[in-house]
Amino acid sequence: MFVRRLEKLADHLETVARQPKPERVFDLASWFGRDPYTCGTRACAVGEACFIPEFKKAGLRLTEDTPFIVPTYKDSDNWDAVCAFFGIKLPTAIRLFNMYSYPDEARNDSERVAYRIRNTVKRYRARRR
């Protein structure tokens, strides 16, 4: 688990909650997409991660080489890219970032995702002691 990356994402998601960008809405329903209702965009936690300069420099990207915009990292895409970039296994990635791992009312709550990331990191650190 790449703890610093996860903590950086949690920090970013808390900022998204406090200072939302008017052109981008947080939404766990898709990695990234255009919002036809606002002329802006929607991004989930991983989609937001792709906007963090440090992560972009490390190679995390959103790629539009399929009908969908998906995260890519090195030679991986979709969930494989998420797992590789954050150093986590698929069940952890699903629990942290998949919209079906949250109640419907939390789908647009970046703080709730940040909270879950921080708890996951906390448990990981406790096990390593």
Q: pLDDT tens digit string along 57-112?
A: 999 999 987 678 899 999 999 999 999 999 999 999 999 999 999 999 998 999 99
Task: For the chain, give the mean pLDDT.
Answer: 91
Tokens of 123: 């448990």
Domain ranges of the chain: 3-124
DSSP state letter for 76? E
pLDDT band of 29, cuts 50, 70, 90: confident
What's at 101, amino acid-wise? Answer: S
For residue 22, give Cα distances in angstroms to 17, 39, 74, 90.
12, 10, 31, 32
Between 30 and 126, name the one with better pLDDT.
126
Using DSSP's 3-state secondary structure scheme, residue 92 falls into: helix
β-strand partners of 61: 72
